[in-house]
Structure 1
Amino acid sequence: MTDRPAQHSAPPSVRRVLTLLVAACIVPIVLVLAVLIINFYRQEEARLVENTLNHARHVSAAADREVRSTQLALQVLASSYLLHERDLRTFHARISAVVDKLHVDSILLLDLDGRILLSTLRPYGSALPQLTDRPLLQRTRSTAMPGVSGIFTGPLVGQPIVTIAVPVIENGKVVMSLNATVTPATLQPLLFEQKFPESWRAGIVDQQFRIITRSHDMARLAGQQLPAELRQPLSRERESAFDSYTLEGKRSLFVYHRSPQTGWTAILGIPHDELTAPLQRSLFWLITLSVIALALGSTCALWLARRVTRSIQALIAPALAVGQAVPLPLPRLYFSEARELGQALQIAARDLQRARADSSESEQRLALAARAAHLGIWTRDLRQQQIWVSQAWRELFGFNAEQPITLDDLLARVHPADRQHVQRTLDSTLYGATRYDMEFRIELASGCQRWISSHGSVEFDRHQRPTLVRGVSLDITSRKQAELDLQQKQKEVTHLARVAMLGELSGALAHELNQPLTAILSNAQAAQRFLGQPAPDLAEVQEILNDIASEDQRAGAIIARLRSLFGKHDAQRQRISAQSLIDSVQHLISNDLIHQRLTLRTELCKETLTLEADPVQLQQVLLNLLMNACDAQSQQIEHSNLIVLRSARVGQTLQLSISDSGGGIPAEALEQIFTPFYTTKARGMGLGLSICRSIVDAHGGRLWAENNSHGGATFHLRLPLAEAAQP
């Protein structure tokens, strides 16, 4: 009797398992689809309500902008001197000229009793009615603030209008009201600009829920009050949605938003059949396609199960061999795709072996290059909050080889003055920044400082969330020190240029100082004579002493100006008016102009313009340009004795122009004159204009020159105004 092999129960086939799996998935999938469909419907409805509410907000915001712009224009007109002088005829002509530009239908002026003083709808002097109902006028008078009315029938046009009013204030009191009227037709484009579907109903109502304007049948309905079934839900909240019927009797979803500025409410009505029809179609197709997909999936899974199983099992051994990078011979396979997969596994095994060798070589090269360049390499895992750094990085920042590194450890090494900037830059990688470059100082345990240049790039996952930051850090202390040394030398050159300018002005300044000193000497001698008399006149002596003190203060002011201009100090920016800057320069150069028999004429902007700048450096620029103009005038045998200094506002900048009547500048030298050591003077150093341009560039401005058509040259200096420099 022969032994038979033990019988074991056969495992379930792929076909049986897939059949049971499909059957087990049908019921849960159907339930999930049902839940998804219900949620989909609710989400679609909420999305439509939110989108429509945004449209209502846009309409309300557009109406607010129209009201605000009209109020601003009226406030400008209300401040006109013509109203304060009661020149109403001229004021009527002025507002008639601008009424079309304001997108309003008319402008009128009321006194506090409601009498219409003038209107752009009537010629000046025409008889005008008096308002009987004037709540907006009373509100404007009591609050002294601009306001807007509801819709009412205008006494001049006999049709519905709204009024926008601003107070006319004199000596702190409201004396009149300047109003602009707008018809519903003028406001209707605010609705059409949103390009709503033709089936929607859009409108704006006032504080009493009277229709100001409407997208449909506006001419008939303007000024009418909404029915109670619409007014009641509108009065509950500032913005919401509710179901009701339109004025045409069609059931719709109404979405509204009330403006806190005007009290007007923007209302949008969407027909219910337009809301539900797309959702019903989506629901039908979603269910149909889900059933079809489930049926096809089950059929295909059962048909392919037996055929796929054999090929999958045959590829298990080659797949396991890939990890060891050892290709195995392929078994017999039933599908061309399975054969291709098997060949791909063999290729993958060979590529993996080659990639491991290349990766090892690349890592060695990278480590060698980093050590040669003294680069510190680091990686920051944003998900795990872990930081890996190379040994070179640890040496750069003064960490030992075993010490774990955290972000707080890094920030603790950063110089306190740079720590906030480094923290903000690192935080930016969490909010969408793709890379960063920064320079900062660190303080080592030995007490010395080191400048670091750090560069990083951010990696994102498939949801565009930052996951990893890689970068390098480099010691740039030597370069930074060289930059600081260069800045110091530039400061010294600028100071030497000011000292050289002092030499050129020394004769005129000596004369200016001689005048108060001579007056002090004369007054002191006179005081001695009075005091030598038997009965000196003490009142006269007191006046002499007052003159001495005044002349002494004058001499002190001259010396203070010289010390501020030629003292050696760091640039310190402050707010300074253009007028005071020009006045200070005129004081310094006035006597030099007199000695050379030249006249400086100023043509200055009437507006008060303020700069954020170093006044001493700007004085140096203006003095250099004015002295160059004096030299250009004196080199001509026959020349005008006039130099012109102009100031003007150009956008958000101040432009200063200095014009002379000299020989001009050769065309080829117009740009070279700003090059260091280039000069057209016999004894010039060639640094003045170069330093001037450097100072102007440091202030964010521009300096250039051009020849005048009538002879001579003009230097233009343009600097940003203080308000333009604010962040």
Structure 2
Amino acid sequence: MGNATDRTWQQSHGVRASLAALVIASILPVAAVAAVIIVGIYHKERAQLISNTVARAHAMINAVDHDFSNTRVALSALGTSRMLSSGDLRGFHARAVEALANLHADSILVLDTDGRMLMSTRRPYGARLPVLASTPLLRRILADGQPGVSDLFTGPINKTLIYTVGVPIRRDGRIVMTLNATATPAQLAHVIAEQRLPPTWRASVIDTAGRVVARSHEIDRYAGQRLSDDQLRPATAAQEGGFETRTLDGIDVFVVFSRSPQSGWSAYLGIPLRELNAGLHSTMTWLIGATLAALAAGLGLAWLMGGRITRSVQALIPPALAIGEGSVPVIPALHFREAHELGQALRNAGASVRDARAASQESAQRLTLAANAAHLGIWVRDLHQHTIWVSDQWRALFGFGKEQQVDLADLLDRVHADDRPHVAQTFDSARLGAPRYDIEYRIVLPDGGLRWIGSQGSVEFDYSGHPALVRGVSLDITARKLAELDARQKQKEVTHLSRLAVLGELSGALAHELNQPLTAILSNAQAARRFMAQQPPNLAEVDEILDDIIAEDQRAGAVIERLRRLFDKSETPRAPVNLHRLAKDVIHLLRNDLINHGMVVHTDFAATAATTEADAVQLQQVLINLLMNACDAMAGALPAHAVITVRTATEGPDAVRLSVIDSGSGIADADLARIFEPFYTTKARGMGLGLSICRNIVAAHQGRLWAENNPDGGASVHLRLPLAHEAAP
């Protein structure tokens, strides 16, 4: 770039030659006055014509908006029909056909909120209606609740170009359908005709997509054609204005436009450039002749003045070079006052540059001190040069020496092998233009040590919009990561303690569950001994007794295995869990405890399967806790009221809710918001951990756990979990 600039400088004209023409023009009053008068008159007339044309374009687009407004008012009035509100579309069809005669429209139709066409006056009521491929106007009305007008499109029924005016129809404050009127480009022809434009001018009405809706010439040929981006860009940037272009039929024109703030449509009026410039061409010939004569008379004076200006400018070159070196220049004596002012400005600039350099050095030092104090490593990655600059603090974080060359491959080599693909993908995303990133990853130091790094970066783009630089900082977050791992381990410990706390409540159930098979085993063994003592021994009876002993032993083993898995400290992999089967198993497990509390459990399961991806043992722990809490809440209740309901219900296509409902005294309002807080309890011997741990378990399963009082007494605790993608076998 520097060489190109030098060549341009060497090939450019000197100040003397350049100023000669300027001086000649300034000292020849005839040429100057003629130029001012001619150009002034031309521009004044041109500006007046353009101003008048802008007003006409504004009036034309206002007429278009007036048509739209009349149609919206008529549609809004028609939308109040009782036949429409009662759903009598057959009767409303007849009413719409009558109303069509008073509208600038060729059909009326009704769309529901899904885009289905419910009725159209183009077809008899009940006739099959086409499916709309796209409904942008409907989406816009549903989004902002306001009437609107569509762009030009091909009608699905008559296959001709139409546009639509639509209004929302509400019931109980909610949009339930839209009422629309369609019109063809020909129905806007009166708007252009009313302007009474010269026959050589071109006028068009353009929709928001840049397509021609109405046109003063050959509308049948050009309707629906889109203007070029160069023709549309000015109307996008401003509401009114003008520019030169070529029309669709090849005429060079100056276009004046006015865009409606309501509909976004625009009116374009094109004045042929031949008409606009006719007066200028005739006077410019005389101006050129006068100017040439003035040039010959003033050339000598211009050459003299140019020489003096040149010497003054050249005298300022050494001071300008001195500024680049950071010193304050000495300004020599110059010929002109302006040159002296420029020299003084160079002197002031030299002082400013010196101060700015000092301030920049001070700022850089402060930034370095701040980064070092915060232990931040700063880096800059040049995406064009494929180089990386890093600060000394960054080198210390990553274990690189002060003089060691660092590139992207060196950095990725330090990243832990498990984190390397993610880090490389993040760097690639930044190279492709992702504006920011924030990642955490591990690095392996040269001594084998492991360190966690938090890195944030932002992308800077060049003048062409391509990513050029990535700047960012890196921070050692090892201590925080270790703290997070420690907290996670402690949470597991607390969860295990909760399971052990539940064990105390289940001890009675365990004793009863094991007592039955053990008593049966003892009785069968005693009976077998008696049959073996007979002469001869009754081996058939002994064989049946041995089968009973085996069955009872397996039953006892199943009880012990269920409880062992419940209180096992190790984690189990998640798998599809049928909530109905899990609830039945927990109710069976607590059967004797529920009987001792005098409680009856009813189930009210959803008809469809309720399967979630979960740790079954952890969900058992949650349900046991909720059922035991319900028992405590109804302690002392009469048998008729000692009922707990376990209910499931699907919530949409992706979730299921399981509820434990009691008929106790409910939860006090002050306690309702706090019962899930750790160590908060309303029980005399409670630890305040059960519900808190239950909520953590549910949250880990991407679910939600909450409580509320029932309207007819008692309380409900609801457990919401995502449904599994595939049903459990």
- Which TM class, normalised by the smaller chain length? 0.5 to 0.7
| 1:698-717 paired onto structure 2 within 5 Å | 698-717=700-719
State the SS of the aligned residue for 2:456: strand
Alignment partners' CA distance in 1, 2:557 and 2:246? 88
**Alignment-mate amino acid for residue 509 of structure 2:** A
Percent same amino acid among aligned pairs?
54
Structure 1 631/482 Cα, relative in aligned 2: closer, same or farther at 3 Å? same
Match of 1:317 in 2: 318
Match of 1:451 in 2: 452
- Listed one character per residue, the Cα deviations across residues 347-388 of structure 1 (whole Å, up to 9, x for unaligned) are 332222122222222333333333333322222111111112
Match of 1:691 in 2: 693
On the 8 A contact 1:105/1:182 being kept in 2, the answer is no
State the SS of the aligned residue for 1:683: coil
CA RMSD of aligned residues (A): 4.4
On the 8 A contact 2:161/2:224 being kept in 1, the answer is no
Q: How many residues align?
A: 501
Structure 1 339/514 Cα, relative in aligned 2: closer, same or farther at 3 Å? farther
- Listed one character per residue, the Cα deviations across residues 387-431 of structure 1 (whole Å, up to 9, x for unaligned) are 122222222222223322121221122112212221222222123
Moved more, 641-650 or 581-590: 581-590
Moved more, 505-514 or 713-722: 713-722
Match of 1:605 in 2: 606
Match of 1:377 in 2: 378
Alignment partners' CA distance in 2, 1:188 and 1:457? 44
Structure 1 581/15 Cα, relative in aligned 2: closer, same or farther at 3 Å? farther
2:237 maps to 1:278: no
- Listed one character per residue, the Cα deviations across residues 60-102 of structure 1 (whole Å, up to 9, x for unaligned) are xxxxxxxxxxxxxxxxxxxxxxxxxxxxxxxxxxxxxxx9999
Match of 1:617 in 2: 618
Structure 1 192/656 Cα, relative in aligned 2: closer, same or farther at 3 Å? closer
State the SS of the aligned residue for 2:667: coil
Match of 1:173 in 2: none
Relative contact order (C-alpha < 8 Å, sep 6+): which is higher?
Answer: 2
Match of 2:402 in 1: 401
| 1:118-133 paired onto structure 2 within 5 Å | none
**Alignment-mate amino acid for residue 658 of structure 2:** L
On the 8 A contact 1:188/1:213 being kept in 2, the answer is no
- CA apart distance, 1:647: 1.4
Match of 2:665 in 1: 663
What TM-score does the superposition give when structure 2 sets the normalisation length? Answer: 0.60
Structure 1 336/588 Cα, relative in aligned 2: closer, same or farther at 3 Å? farther
On the 8 A contact 1:674/1:689 being kept in 2, the answer is yes
**Alignment-mate amino acid for residue 571 of structure 2:** D
- CA apart distance, 1:549: 2.8
On the 8 A contact 2:453/2:477 being kept in 1, the answer is yes
Alignment partners' CA distance in 2, 1:189 and 1:429? 38
**Alignment-mate amino acid for residue 664 of structure 1:** G
Structure 1 101/278 Cα, relative in aligned 2: closer, same or farther at 3 Å? closer
Match of 1:214 in 2: 159
2:608 maps to 1:643: no
Alignment partners' CA distance in 2, 1:341 and 1:489? 74
- Listed one character per residue, the Cα deviations across residues 284-334 of structure 1 (whole Å, up to 9, x for unaligned) are 8999999x9xx99xx9xx999977856654543332221123233556778
- CA apart distance, 1:454: 1.5
Match of 1:28 in 2: none
Alignment partners' CA distance in 1, 2:135 and 2:361? 68
On the 8 A contact 2:320/2:329 being kept in 1, the answer is no
Alignment partners' CA distance in 1, 2:13 and 2:662? 105
**Alignment-mate amino acid for residue 694 of structure 1:** N
- Listed one character per residue, the Cα deviations across residues 579-629 of structure 1 (whole Å, up to 9, x for unaligned) are 233223223222211121201111111121222222222221211111111
Alignment partners' CA distance in 1, 2:113 and 2:554? 60
Alignment partners' CA distance in 2, 1:350 and 1:19? 35
- Listed one character per residue, the Cα deviations across residues 507-549 of structure 1 (whole Å, up to 9, x for unaligned) are 1121012222222333333344444444555554444333333
State the SS of the aligned residue for 1:416: coil
On the 8 A contact 2:116/2:131 being kept in 1, the answer is no
Runs of at least 5 residues in structure 1 that lack an aligned partner in the other structure = 1-10, 21-98, 107-158, 162-180, 205-211, 218-247, 256-274
Alignment partners' CA distance in 2, 1:542 and 1:664? 55
2:555 maps to 1:585: no
Moved more, 688-697 or 528-537: 528-537
Alignment partners' CA distance in 2, 1:336 and 1:659? 96
State the SS of the aligned residue for 2:577: strand
Match of 1:508 in 2: 509
Match of 2:481 in 1: 480
On the 8 A contact 1:188/1:214 being kept in 2, the answer is no
- CA apart distance, 1:283: 8.1
Alignment partners' CA distance in 1, 2:633 and 2:365? 68
State the SS of the aligned residue for 1:634: coil
What TM-score does the superposition give when structure 1 sets the normalisation length? Answer: 0.60
- CA apart distance, 1:643: 0.8
Match of 1:553 in 2: 554
- Listed one character per residue, the Cα deviations across residues 467-518 of structure 1 (whole Å, up to 9, x for unaligned) are 1112222222222222211211111111001101011111112101222222
Match of 1:436 in 2: 437
- Listed one character per residue, the Cα deviations across residues 640-659 of structure 1 (whole Å, up to 9, x for unaligned) are 21011111122332222212
Alignment partners' CA distance in 2, 1:677 and 1:512? 32
On the 8 A contact 1:662/1:711 being kept in 2, the answer is yes
Structure 1 347/428 Cα, relative in aligned 2: closer, same or farther at 3 Å? farther
Match of 1:653 in 2: 655
Structure 1 684/321 Cα, relative in aligned 2: closer, same or farther at 3 Å? same
Alignment partners' CA distance in 2, 1:254 and 1:407? 53
On the 8 A contact 1:636/1:663 being kept in 2, the answer is no
Alignment partners' CA distance in 2, 1:713 and 1:548? 44
Match of 1:676 in 2: 678
On the 8 A contact 2:115/2:132 being kept in 1, the answer is no
Structure 1 579/356 Cα, relative in aligned 2: closer, same or farther at 3 Å? same
Alignment partners' CA distance in 1, 2:722 and 2:336? 75
Alignment partners' CA distance in 1, 2:311 and 2:248? 48
Match of 1:167 in 2: none
On the 8 A contact 2:626/2:717 being kept in 1, the answer is yes
On the 8 A contact 1:577/1:611 being kept in 2, the answer is yes
Runs of at least 5 residues in structure 2 that lack an aligned partner in the other structure = 1-11, 22-111, 139-148, 163-217, 226-244, 256-271
State the SS of the aligned residue for 1:214: coil
- CA apart distance, 1:339: 6.5
State the SS of the aligned residue for 2:472: strand
Structure 1 101/327 Cα, relative in aligned 2: closer, same or farther at 3 Å? closer
Alignment partners' CA distance in 2, 1:18 and 1:661? 101
Match of 2:91 in 1: none
**Alignment-mate amino acid for residue 672 of structure 1:** R
| 1:238-257 paired onto structure 2 within 5 Å | none
